[in-house]
Structure 1
Amino acid sequence: MMAVAPTPVTVIGGFLGAGKTTFLNRLLAAGTTRYAVLVNDFGEINVDATLIERHDGTTMSLTNGCVCCSIGSGFLETLGRLLDGDERFDRIVIEASGVGDPWRIAEIALIEPELRLDGVIVIADASRITRLVDDLRVGDTVRNQFARCNVVLLSKSDLVDETDLDAARRAVLSVRPDARIEILARETMPDLSLLGNRRVSAFRADGVEDDAPDHEENFRRWAYRRDGAFDRGRLAAAIKQFPPELLRLKGACRIADEAQPLVFQMVSSDWSLSPVDRDQEAGLGSIALVGVGTRDLPPDAELEAILDGALARPARA
């Protein structure tokens, strides 16, 4: 019986709001490669609705023949189910948590005979990375993500001029002087097989444990779910009240007088609302947001009170 070649693995890392999920959606929509995708960001799957064919809560069958799984109770358990299944994929892509170390995930491919680590990609927001690497709260986490990656993709380059783009490059090089840096353009999608480095095994795999602590222990998650809708003006005012310890907030919500649900995205103090094709948060209520902050994030009740003040009031009878 002919031996089956190991499946190449690409790990995608990057700090909160860098654009990992946007990159992943573009990757899945772009080509004919059959991917198995494991997503660890926020413990949620966030894949463009137009790509989804079936969804059972933890696994999505995608219209291009790929599958996407949430890394639920344990990464090794999820990966084991994938490897033991009947389907075979051209590549496994793993999206690391925005506050985690992508190398901790990549080490698995160095010790699993059925896998071949093909590269660790870190996506960096060109409009924010110069501030993030020196941020007293999150700088250590951001710098650590660059430590053993093969390539850094600068995202959101359309939001900065050439001077700021050069500053973003210098910020990455200040952490990793030998880093390979590429610009992630909207018009083109890089070939993952060309971004890796077959010599990644030169890095030692340190006894990998499924539940081993990493930089995530320095951060805290928060979830907000409500029926009803936000008032757009009150929401804008509420966001200004958020403490700086809340680094990221995203999810689905409804806005009063808007027919369709919207995707809410907030990174630092920048936020946006964009339309979705369908309500991806079915069963979780009309508003379902998840956030990440530093471990000094105020109590949930304080954060909830801020958003509760943004809810649209019911019309009087």
Structure 2
Amino acid sequence: MPEATPVPVTVLTGYLGAGKTTLLNRILSENHGKKFAVVINEFGELGVDNDLVVDADEEVFEMNNGCICCTVRGDLIRIIGGLMKRKGDLDGIIIETTGLADPAPVAQTFFVDEDVKARTRLDAIVTVVDAKNLPARLADSKEAEEQIAFADIVLLNKMDLVSPEEAAEVERRIRAINPQVEIRRSTKSDVPLDAVLGRDAFNLARILEREPEFLSGEDDHEHDSEIQSLSFEAKRPIDPEKFNAWISGLLAQKGQDLLRTKGILHYRGDDRRFAFQAVHMMADGDFIGPWKEGDPRRSKIVFIGRDLNRPQLRRGFESCQAEETAAA
């Protein structure tokens, strides 16, 4: 029998009141002819989010009493495992996190559990942002900032409440936190569903096909944000053993501060590109096909996090390069 195609999973996050449930209701009530399973994570003993979601054919699973974190990750693994055993194909799984949640542990689930990895794939982390209130939230909530830092797609919602100047400033603030993120503007979460579903936006290889310069630049995006984005480039091939030793130590030591790490590496003696991704301390990587003819074979890596030491990270990454003699 042919192997089943992995089911795409969309993680829907965003601060309290940004419009996540509105977007989820749109997905569930629109006549798209697809079947989704929905997992709602809610903070508190008693769940009410489930009651706010419109009646639909989709199955809704609720996880109460706490944000999705290490303790609840087991619940998520069990729910996904149960879904995969049911008869009937699913077009996708949507996980809505509480407004106070750090989406990282959800994403990490797709790194740590081999069965989940084999049966599903993380399609995108979609963060819904309240355009009017984001400046205030960034001032008083580290969660709002982290949700943007983890995002593959930001849905800039409530655009009817801001002026063009305010919208431009909010976008500037978002890009100060996550320079490469895709931003879609909306009012009442009214975006085409294909703007947020089925995007394969967590797939670094796919992103690079669409935007070859995604990891380019060595800019330091500190601005007025506590979270920075730093990117580095190495011209010589990377020694895999050196890189694995360095990145393992770095993630073990600084993993809590490193929100997202992404890189494309040119390993010594290999004609294929290696894509590396990490969420906090959980890392994954694989070869994604050959370098294109004529393209410079340069390794690039991007860190998004807080309290990042630029010179130390640069020296660490550059120390992973193969020796000139070995490269030759």
2:241: which partner in 1? Answer: none
Name which of 175, 181, 193 aligns with 1:190. 193
CA distance in 1, matches of 2:48, 2:37: 13
CA distance in 2, matches of 1:45, 1:86: 29
- What is the identity, as a one-letter code, of the residue corresponding to 1:121? V
The Cα of 1:195 is off from its aligned counterpart by 7.0
1:172: which partner in 2? Answer: 174
CA distance in 2, matches of 1:76, 1:27: 23
2:293: which partner in 1? Answer: none
The Cα of 1:173 is off from its aligned counterpart by 1.5
**In the TM superposition, what whole-angstrom CA distance separates every residue of 1:87-126 from its partner, at most 9, and x where no partner exists?**
4310111011211111220222234211111111111100
The Cα of 1:196 is off from its aligned counterpart by 2.4
- Please give the residue correspondences for 1:180-259 in structure 2 after superposition, counting only pairs within 5 Å: 180-186=182-188, 187-191=190-194, 192-194=197-199, 196-199=201-204, 202-204=276-278, 206=281
Name which of 133, 136, 143 aligns with 1:131. 136
Q: Classify the secondary structure of the residue corresponding to 2:160.
A: helix
- Please give the residue correspondences for 1:26-175 in structure 2 after superposition, counting only pairs within 5 Å: 26-30=26-30, 31-42=32-43, 44=47, 46=49, 51-52=54-55, 62=56, 65-72=57-64, 74-111=75-112, 112-135=117-140, 138=141, 140-175=142-177
**In the TM superposition, what whole-angstrom CA distance separates every residue of 1:174-198 from its partner, at most 9, and x where no partner exists?**
2122222110244543311237242
- What is the identity, as a one-letter code, of the residue corresponding to 1:173? R
| TM-score normalised by L of structure 1 | 0.55
CA distance in 2, matches of 1:188, 1:79: 27
CA distance in 2, matches of 1:99, 1:204: 22
Runs of 5+ unmatched residues, structure 1: 53-61, 209-317
- What is the identity, as a one-letter code, of the residue corresponding to 2:277? F
CA distance in 1, matches of 2:36, 2:111: 19
Indicate if the aligned counterparts of 1:71 and 1:78 stay in contact, CA closer than 8 A. Answer: no
CA distance in 2, matches of 1:188, 1:177: 22
Indicate if the aligned counterparts of 1:103 and 1:149 stay in contact, CA closer than 8 A. Answer: no
The Cα of 1:77 is off from its aligned counterpart by 2.7
2:325: which partner in 1? Answer: none
Provide closer, same or farther for how the CA distance between residues 195 and 127 of structure 1 changes in structure 2, counting only shifts above 3 A: farther
Indicate if the aligned counterparts of 2:123 and 2:199 stay in contact, CA closer than 8 A. Answer: no
Q: Classify the secondary structure of the residue corresponding to 1:113.
A: helix
- What is the identity, as a one-letter code, of the residue corresponding to 2:179? P
Provide closer, same or farther for how the CA distance between residues 40 and 83 of structure 1 changes in structure 2, counting only shifts above 3 A: same
More helix by share: 2
CA distance in 2, matches of 1:68, 1:180: 28
| TM-score normalised by L of structure 2 | 0.54
RMSD of the TM alignment (CA)? 2.5
User: Number of residue pairs matched?
Assistant: 194
1:20: which partner in 2? Answer: 20
Runs of 5+ unmatched residues, structure 2: 65-71, 205-261, 263-274, 284-328
Q: Classify the secondary structure of the residue corresponding to 1:134.
A: helix
- Please give the residue correspondences for 1:277-292 in structure 2 after superposition, counting only pairs within 5 Å: none
User: Matched residues, percent identical?
Assistant: 28
Indicate if the aligned counterparts of 2:37 and 2:90 stay in contact, CA closer than 8 A. Answer: yes
Indicate if the aligned counterparts of 1:37 and 1:67 stay in contact, CA closer than 8 A. Answer: yes
